[in-house]
Amino acid sequence: MPVVALADPDANAQRTVELLKAAAGEGAAVIAFPELGLTGYSVDDLVQQDALLDAALTALDTVRAATVGVAALVCVGVPLRVGDGLYNTAAVLHDGEILGVVPKSYLPNYREFYEQRLFAAARDAPVDEAVVLGERVPFGPDLLFEADDVPGLVVHVEICEDGWVPIPPSTWAALAGATVLVNLSGSPVTVGKEAYRRELSASHSARNVAAHVYVASGYGESTTDLAWDGDALITENGTLLARTTPFSTTDQTITADVDLDRLRQERARMISLRDQVGDYADHLRELRRIPVTVGQRPDSAPLRRSVAPFPFVPPPGPDRDERCREVGNIQVQGLTQRLRATGIEHIVIGISGGLDSTLALLVAVDAFDRLGLPRTNILAYTMPGFATGGATLGRAHALMSSLGVTGAEIDIRPACRQMLADLDHPVARGDEVYDVTFENVQAGQRTSLLFRLANEHNALVLGTGDLSELALGWCTYGVGDQMSHYNVNGSVPKTLIRHLIRWMIDTELHSETTATVLAEVLDDVISPELVPPGEDGAIQSTEDAVGPYELHDFFLYYVTRFGYRPRKVAFLARQAWSDSYDDATINHWLTVFLKRFMANQFKRTAMPNGPKVGSGGSLSPRGDWRSPSDAPSTAWLDDLN
């Protein structure tokens, strides 16, 4: 984003060269400058003066020469005469050559714009090649610049108004495979236009599953009747990656890394996009492809985009409250509809005093309030076992009492002792053998009780298990905590559950007494409390056994949502979590995740009904995730290794 020297192409060329060399030095593969950047957009009728046009050609030659030895694709705006017409164009340069020239397709001629007075439109061009600086080069809006050394990088260039019309030329390019859509713009600023540009760029990138690079004119343009803010944005599939500081009076450069793998994965999944490609296949085949070598990204290069450590969690900002309420509304609506459809007016739920059952109970309370049913119809049971701590048991009772539900306690230890004796388990003989059988006898007894209680009270068993546990298989199969009549947490990961409960405290959605209990739930160690504390008094920790949920949720998001190679997931995790985990730790827990995720598909195949909550997906075999239960993890582990 150079400061414009109005009607001074030589000065503009020098500034363009300085910026492109700086960008190339940072490893940029695609570099874009504003519309008519070599003359200034607001030169008005001066653009038809031969002196200015000659100087613009000389400036273009200066920039072209400066690209010798530069691997990046460079897009500069320049007015060019082709035949009898004057065109508003983008010249695409690479390593000392002009690879192609793209004329503007749609010329605005309303309000402050009168480009039809000055230029010919692309459709008026009688040729598809032009002689520029003595070279015969492709000419037209139908050019695709395809990297032969970076898989998936296909660039299309258009100019300003082309991106504001209902069907931009870049839409056709995206259907033909373009992944980076570049728009060279003039675009003076008016009140509200900055927000609209962001919306336009983000929605265009989302609709086309592409990256969108937008760069507009800035300081130095004529302020006779207009103002210029120098807006430049890089968006990817609806997400803003980078943006300039508005109204800067100095040169600016923004850079961002585009995730081509993400775009490829999303496009492969969007069958409707492929259908439209088929509808217009003949037209798309007419687009011309120009090969280019832009240079591989060095492994040591820093990543120029942020990687959120909690991809399932709404980012801080004005939309956070709305997003959190939306999650709750989805869960509540799912439960209310299931109760209406079945005619059931009671639910049974097990309360442990931990995160998952706490959120499920809060959802149930909201659902019953909306249905006009008494909270006492929620039959909540805490079921202490051999390792249940006094703190969690107390929290369970306090939570049930503060919410006004029907709370009760059933001690499962006598029934578990009988089953362990029937199994001739070592614990029944007095030995301290706390194996998986010992643990699952307790988990199974709790679920068995809940189902029989539901029979007794004509109630629905509300499940509490979350998405993270389903991914890791950290749930007891069959008549265990994996099973219920309906589960409102089934597509909510552990990190989001933590965030939702914290948000409820911050926004004072519940009484002070309930909020105090919620804060205690957040502060406690995540534990199934199935094995008695050790000699040191330490309680059983889930994360000590299977790893940190914050890492596993990160892995889950990128493995299932985008299908990334494990080595790329590890790379992204290092960017997001380097302050907390070293490379060896990340690789260790990613190995654990891959093994457990693949080995426990059989549990997910039989998971109960429940609403999908986020775009990160669910693991329901009826929804986002269909997978064989007997597939090995070999290919994934080999890739990580």
In the set 75, 104, 221, 494, the catalytic residue is 104
**Residue 603 counted as an annotated binding residue:** yes
Q: Which residues contact 38 (CB under 8 A, 6 or more apart)?
A: 9, 12, 13, 16, 56, 59, 60, 63, 76, 77, 78
| CA separation for the pair 264, 586 (Å, rounded) | 26
Sign of the Cα pseudo-torsion (578, 582, 585, 590, in order): positive
State whether residue 620 is helix, strand or coil: coil
**Residue 260 counted as an annotated binding residue:** no
**Residue 506 counted as an annotated binding residue:** no
Whether 35 is catalytic is yes
**Residue 351 counted as an annotated binding residue:** yes
| CA separation for the pair 437, 363 (Å, rounded) | 32
Residue 637: CA count within 13 A, CB half-sphere:
15
**Residue 353 counted as an annotated binding residue:** yes
**Residue 476 counted as an annotated binding residue:** yes
Do 236 and 263 touch, CB atoms closer than 8 A? yes
Instruction: Return the DSSP state at 525.
Output: P
**Residue 354 counted as an annotated binding residue:** yes
**Residue 627 counted as an annotated binding residue:** no
**Residue 350 counted as an annotated binding residue:** yes
Could you tell me the maximum CA-CA distance found in the chain, to the nearest angstrom?
A: 102
DSSP 487-506: ETTTT--HHHHHHHHHHHHH
**Residue 355 counted as an annotated binding residue:** yes
Whether 104 is catalytic is yes
Whether 416 is catalytic is no
In the set 75, 115, 158, 160, the catalytic residue is 160
End-to-end Cα distance, the chain:
42
**Residue 193 counted as an annotated binding residue:** yes
Instruction: Report which of 412, 303, 396, 290 is spatially closest to residue 352, judged by C-alpha positions.
Output: 396
Work out whether strand 97-103 and strand 129-132 pair parallel, antiparallel, or are unpaired. Answer: unpaired
Determine phi and psi for 286, rounding to 5 degrees: -75, -15
Beta strands in 531-594 (DSSP E): none
Residue 438's H or E segment, with its range, is: helix 436-457
**Residue 187 counted as an annotated binding residue:** yes
**Residue 214 counted as an annotated binding residue:** no
**Residue 293 counted as an annotated binding residue:** no
**Residue 336 counted as an annotated binding residue:** no
Angle, helices 512-523/390-403, rounded to nearest 10 degrees = 150
In the set 35, 115, 161, 266, the catalytic residue is 35
Please report, in range form, the residues annotated as the binding site for ATP: 350-357, 464
What are the binding residues for L-glutamine? 110, 187, 193
Annotated binding residues for deamido-NAD(+), written as ranges, equal 440, 469, 474-477, 603
Which of the residues are catalytic? 35, 104, 160
Residue ranges of the annotated binding site are 110, 187, 193, 350-357, 440, 464, 469, 474-477, 603
